[in-house]
A and B are shown apart, each in its own frame.
Chain A
Amino acid sequence: MSALPQVSAARPVASAVAAAPLLAVDAISLTFGGIKALTEVSFEVRPQEVFSIIGPNGAGKTSLLNCVSGRYRPSRGRIAFKGTDVTALRPNERCHLGIGRTFQNLALFNHMTVLDNIMVGRHHLLKNNFFTGALYWIGGAQREELEHRRAVEEIIDFLEITHIRKAIAGTLSYGLRKRVELARAIALKPDLILLDEPMAGMNLEEKEDMARYILDLNEEWGMTVIMIEHDMGVVMDVSHRIMVLDFGRKIAEGAPEAIIENPHVKTAYLGADVEMSVVADAGGPA
């Protein structure tokens, strides 16, 4: 059995280093009543980068992702995607611009087949409506559906879920559901894909598969990835850059090897005056 992909920190970003940022988050704050979930968080993600967000539980990682995907609207600050301000856009409008995501807790359409779940991901790319859809054979809906079916089958092949394409999503195992969710997000054809703990609750083999898919997505499909993940081994290996949140504030950002040495990160994760042995053991780059 091979270890996790050993691309690690030396992995170059495919795009030019000086490219304009794909996503620019400018000093966003998010408050729920008196609770500050995020405070003045700023970061930029460059095209074709794998950007990981880490931090202890409750640090605001998912809240931040929800701000980017449109589930929450930040109380202050601005989010720009491809140079346009998306702060006020609804989630379905952001989807059209090219932001896709998966959820931390499974959010599949449980009574649909895997195939239909993924086809829903093509929703914004399809043109037929309730009228042409009802006529189906006349008016091109069938042709369009079949074209997109082909595209969906490519994703199914890529994620190796051919054997379950007709299965009802709600009946699948946890690992497979996570994979179907990734497939559905890929079907959106996003430029930026947000993965919220893609490896939570998986066994080692499933984690290795998922890491491989994320790398392929990034390198072959050219997608920019923002990922929240707790498995430090994976994060250190696949990320180009990492941002660390703690109590809603950004405490560090940089290349994996810099993050692992960062004293703030050590303090946040392990408390003061403790050696970093745990993180190093978990498979960080030597």
Chain B
Amino acid sequence: MSGGHTTMRCGEFRTSYRADTTIFPTPMSRRVALGAVVLAASFPLWLNAYYLNLLIQIGYYGIAALGLNILVGFTGQISLGHAAFFGFGAFCSAWLNNRFGLPVVLAVPLAGLLTTAVGMFVGIPAGRLKGLYLAIATLASQFILEDFFARAEWFTGGSAGALAQPFTLFGFAFNNDQRFFYVVLVAVIVMYLAGANLLRSRDGRAYVAVRDHYLSAEIMGINLTKYRILAFGSASFYAGVGGALYGHYLGFVSAEGFTILLSIQFLGMIIIGGLGSVMGSLLGTAFMVLLPEVMEASAQGLGGVIPGLKDSVAYLKQMAIGLAIILFLIFEPQGLAHRWKLTKAYWKLYPFSY
């Protein structure tokens, strides 16, 4: 390619297979991604704690949502028990830290691994069950784990809940929003890069193959049972790490936070974001976290105009989430990620779109 500063770019040319298999396909997308990270790193300097709190929520829920997307979007298996794994990670990390004095920085990934083990155990029926039957089996695991949280006082503190120490590294405590934001930022980057890598290598392709056509996947040498259970394991790892960060951020873990409602919200995140899209998981999470806040803000704004709006804002928030899921299923079943793709395709040739 003649390239250079004087020549006008007329396309994106790749001359090696390495250049053809990057996560971000164009130099522009690489710059945008890098710019987004730099911008995010500057947030604690100029955003107040309220907004940072929202961003941190998007971070730890986003990690868990990516896990669910690997399971549901990429491997094609339904799970209604994701919140329970998220909770297990939170309790587990707090327990490892409180009981064994393991530093939080180690307790978080270890909690992820233990959640993986639990998830793979729950995933064993997945080798045999599909569709609605699997949905019910995972629903059962949600309730069994919830019950376990309430009863296993040695592990969770029972109905009283468990205290979780703040995240510390070399004696430096990440104990406020400004500091913890960086922990979540690094975790999100690491987990999302790992997820993107997984899905462009051997086992990630196997997941998608199992989803798209399990009979021919088996002919291609893919062990269906192994990969179905492994998908549950991957999903649980992400849920566990997300949950552990949640616990150490709030400083207190209580079983009430991990109900079926949160499981459904996780499903809502990936449906809105886009099933089978890594970036969509984060977009969908952002949407789900910010939607109630936007509702709240607009209710405050319109409160003077429409009487009674302020009082009913709590219901409106719940209804808005339901409405958003329904609207996305009807008008954009492939989620925000697909919408983003279409937008990019539109601007690529602007103003000569034909």
The answer to whether the Cβ of A103 comes within 8 Å of any Cβ in the partner chain is yes
B276 at the interface (CB under 8 A from A): yes
> When chains A and B are docked, how far (Å) is the Cα of A71 from the Cα of B234?
28
Given contacts A111-B212, A134-B195, contact A69 B219 (CB under 8 A): yes
B95 to chain A, nearest CB (A): 25
What's the least CB distance linking A191 to chain B, in Å? 14
Q: In B58-77, which residues have CB < 8 Å from any A CB?
A: none
Segment from B48-56, B102-110, B220-228, B287-295 that makes contact with A: B220-228
- Decide: B216 and A109 in contact? CB cutoff 8 A: yes
In the complex formed, the residue of A with least CB distance to B216 is A107
**Contact of B197 (CB < 8 Å), options: A100, A116, A134:** A134
- Say what secondary structure dominates the interface of chain B: helix
Smallest CB gap from B202: residue in A: A126
Closest B residue to A71 by beta carbon equals: B215
A107-B215 in contact (CB<8A): yes
Q: Which residues of B contact A129 (CB under 8 A)?
A: 202-203
Interface residues of A, count at CB 8 A? 43
Find chain A residues with CB under 8 A from B204 CB: 130, 133
Q: Is the CB of A123 within 8 A of B212?
A: no
CA distance A101 to B215 in the complex (A): 12
Tally of contact residues, B, Cβ under 8 A: 32
Q: Does B315 contact A (CB under 8 A)?
A: no
Flag if B220 contacts A123 (CB, 8 Å).
yes
CB A128 to nearest CB in B, in angstroms, measures 5
Q: Does A59 contact B (CB under 8 A)?
A: no
The A-contacting residues of B in range 221-242, CB under 8 angstroms, are 221-224, 230, 234
| B21 x A146 contact (CB < 8 A) | yes
The 8 Å CB contact of B17, one of A150, A184, A188, is A150
**Which of A71, A126, A130 is packed against the most chain B CB atoms within 10 Å?**
A130
- A146 and B198 contacting across the interface, CB-CB below 8 Å: no
Taking the complex as formed, is A202 at the interface, i.e. its CB lies under 8 A from any CB of chain B? no
Per-residue CB contact flags for chain B residues 157-172 toward chain A (1 = under 8 Å, else 0) read 0000000000000000
Main secondary structure of the interface of A (DSSP, over half): helix
Chain B residues closer than 8 Å to A130, beta-carbon distance: 198, 203-204, 230, 234
- The smallest beta-carbon distance between B208 and chain A, in angstroms, is 6
The minimal Cβ–Cβ distance linking B188 to chain A, given in whole angstroms, is 15
Cα–Cα distance between A129 and B226 once the two chains are bound (Å): 12
Flag if B216 contacts A116 (CB, 8 Å).
Answer: no
In whole Å, how far is B23's beta carbon from the nearest beta carbon of chain A?
A: 9
Interfacial chain B residues near A255, Cβ < 8 Å: none
Contact B201 A133 (CB under 8 A): yes
- Mask, A98-114, CB within 8 Å of B = 1, is 00110100011111100
Cβ of A126: which chain B residues have Cβ within 8 Å of it? 202
Quick check: B213 and A134 within 8 Å, CB to CB?
no
Given contacts A100-B219, A130-B198, A134-B198, contact A108 B213 (CB under 8 A): yes
Least CB distance from B25 to A in Å reads 10
Residue numbers in B under 8 Å from A122 (CB-CB): 202
* Contact across chains for A109 and B197 when beta carbons are under 8 A apart: no
| Residue B348 at the chain A interface, CB threshold 8 Å | no
Residue of A nearest to B231 (CB): A130
B212: A residues at CB distance < 8 A: 108-112
B220 to chain A, nearest CB (A): 5
- Chain A residues with CB under 8 Å of B21's CB are 142, 145-146, 149
Bound complex: CA A111 to CA B211 (Å): 10
A120 touches B209 (CB 8 A): yes
Asked whether A21 is an interface residue with its Cβ less than 8 Å from the other chain, the reply is no
Name the contact of B221 in the complex, choosing from A95, A109, A112, A141 (C-beta under 8 A): A95
Query: Which of A90, A91, A103, A128 interacts with B202 by CB under 8 Å?
Result: A128
Task: Check B195 against A91 for contact (C-beta < 8 Å).
Answer: no
A141 vs chain B, min Cβ distance (A): 5
A107 to chain B, nearest CB (A): 4
Chain A residues with a Cβ under 8 A of chain B: 69-71, 90-92, 95-96, 100-101, 103, 107-112, 116, 119-124, 126, 128-130, 132-137, 141-142, 145-146, 149-150, 153, 184, 188
Subset of 8 A-B contacts with CB under 8 Å: A71-B219, A92-B221, A92-B222, A109-B213, A130-B198, A133-B204, A137-B197, A145-B201
